Structure 1
Amino acid sequence: MAGLRDSMLGLGVSIAVGLVLSSAIVSYTAGRISGNKQSVSVKGLAEKAVSADQARWSITVQGGATTLPAAFAQLRANRPALVDFLKQQGFAEKQLAFGREEYEVVYKQDEEGRPTREVEQYVASQSVQLASNDVKRVDAAAGKIVQLVESGLPIRVNDPEYLVSTLEAVKMSLIANATRNAHDRATEFAKTGGATVGAMKSANQGAFYILPAQGGGSDDDYGGAYDKSTIDKIARVVVTVEYAISQ
């Protein structure tokens, strides 16, 4: 009976140790493969500061009237004010792309707030897309466009998108650095058990993240998060690597 109790106690200790190790960033694969060889699985992290070098900005100008022709005429009369504003901010008209002219019908509502079949007005609209490599100029213009809104010009303004054109190069450099970080972690971990790190057995890349430098933000692009709202960003990648180890 004493032997059985000792065995059960040993089993309980082994389970507890396994649970602790599984919660750490590195984990030790205790299964013997062949010739008394074992493996260690580690996560490597790398990150670097990056700055956006491209900007996209979408603004929609509108025109409203009780007839459709008059609404389009009002739209075309309002459009030059937006174009002139962007030129005043230092952008050339060739940097602008104009979308199709569109319209929607606004119906009157009854006393209970339900739409009727009677037309209240037509609203014509057109999007204007600005593309520029001068991200700071775009950011400054975005802070000033409220002047057009205050003047009564009917526009809808989207937030600018700030993009990094060298994402693939950034990603590859981070993968290399994260792999080296994983090897360093494996080496330190193996030392505690008097082991030596051997060849890489497998490697997996986790998601690639482009995050705001000040934290926050999320967008499901490029296999991870891709923040487009800020100029200054942090690029981050995590890899999981398994190494053979020997005693």
Structure 2
Amino acid sequence: MNKASASIIGAGLVIAFGLMGAQIASAIIGFKTWDRVITVKGLSEREYPADHVIWPIQFNEASNDLSDMYDTLEMHSAMVTRFLTERGIKPEDITVNQPEITDKLAQQYGGDSKVEFRYSAIQTVTVYSENVELVRSVMPDITDLLKQGVAFANQQWDAKPEYVFSRLNEVKPDMIEEATLNAREVAEKFAHDSNSQLGKIKRANQGQFSISPRDGHQPYIKKVRVVSTIDYTLVD
């Protein structure tokens, strides 16, 4: 009986160790498979029209009489506002900002009593509108006000039209899906070429969205771009 019991126990141990060895071997193979990773990038790039425009309109005034200069600024601001509204731009989309006044004789350095005009000012009237096409159509005609005495300032870096695309959250899901599918296509091609099969996703990074003008001549067309980075496992 003792010999029989010992034989049964020995056989059980042999079977147990065999199963344990098989499990360990399977785990090692799985670990090695999980360690075989390919990193691919998927691109989604689309173009959309801007849905908002910010148009700063700047003009200059100069005088030796501060009160007279303010009166002229108000008159020319009203002329610019009327010009815009007559062409269909909503009054609530137009803002008349406070003028920037410079007193040349009051400057700490470089004061010159021989200057022709003591005071100078830059006035800005800003259009902020969702009707991008309408505003763009009005822009070339603003110079008509030159004939009425409005002296427009040279276009400064902060006075250039700015076009905004604000619907990023609407287009994100489709673009992320497109980038993910693009990455998988690249990964499948790599797996096929290496006589392997594509496994599960090990790690994924959505990537940052970027919005930029199509080019310097068409800033009202926005290029939206995202690059997703995905790690796939490879299996034999």
TM-score (norm 1): 0.71
Summarize the alignment of residues 133-148 of structure 1 with structure 2, pairs less than 5 Å apart.
Answer: 133-148=130-145
Structure 1 pair 99–33 and aligned structure 2 pair: CA distance change class (3 A): farther
Secondary structure of 2:124's aligned partner: strand
Q: For 1:150 and 1:99, locate their aligned partners in 2 and report how far apart those are by CA, in whole Å.
A: 23
User: What's the CA shift for 1:230?
Assistant: 2.2
More strand by share: 1
Q: 1:106 to 1:172 in 2, by over 3 A?
A: farther
* Unaligned stretches of 5+ residues in structure 2: 1-28
Identical columns (%) = 29
Deviations 1:162-204 (A, max 9, x none): 2222012223321221011101110111111111111111122
Contact kept? 1:45, 1:178, Cα under 8 Å: yes
Per the TM alignment, residue 239 of structure 1 is displaced from its structure 2 partner at its CA by 1.2
Deviation per residue, 1:115-149 (Å, 9 max, x gap): 33425321233322212121111111111112223
1:190 maps to 191
- 1:6 maps to which residue? none
AA at the equivalent of 1:159 = K
Aligned residue number for residue 123 of structure 2: 126
**Alignment CA distance shift 1:126-1:116 (3 Å):** closer
Alignment root-mean-square deviation, CA: 2.6
Report what 1:105 is aligned to: 103
Q: 1:36 to 1:78 in 2, by over 3 A?
A: closer
Residues paired across the two proteins, number: 199
Name the CA distance, whole Å, in 2 between partners of 1:150 and 1:56.
25
Q: Give me the whole-angstrom Cα distance separating, in 2, the residues matched to 1:246 and 1:172.
A: 30
Partner of 2:17: none
| Structure-2 residue corresponding to 1:222 | none
Residue equivalent to 2:211: 210
Paired position in structure 1 for 2:227: 238
2:162 aligned with 1:161: yes
Residue equivalent to 2:70:
72
SS of structure 1 residue aligned to 2:128 = strand
TM-score (ref. length: structure 2): 0.74
Q: 1:43 aligns with which of 41, 44, 49?
A: 41
More helix by share: 2
1:115 aligns with 2:110: yes
Q: Which is bigger in relative contact order (C-alpha 8 A, separation at least 6)?
A: 2
Q: Give the direction of change, closer, same or farther, for the CA distance of 1:33–1:155 in structure 2 (3 Å limit).
A: farther
Contact kept in structure 1, 2:77 and 2:125, CA below 8 Å: no
One-letter amino acid of the counterpart of residue 43, structure 1: K
Counterpart CA distance in 2 for 1:93 and 1:62 is 22
Q: CA deviation at 1:150?
A: 5.0
Aligned 1:16-35 pairs, distance under 5 A:
34-35=31-32
**1:128 partner SS:** strand
**How much does 1:83 deviate?**
1.0
Q: Which one has a bigger Cα radius of gyration?
A: 2
C-alpha separation between the residues in 2 aligned to 1:33 and 1:75? 77
Find the aligned partners of 2:119 and 2:144 in 1 and give their Cα distance. Answer: 25
Aligned partners of 2:99 and 2:47: how far apart in 1? 41
* Residue matched to 2:175: 174
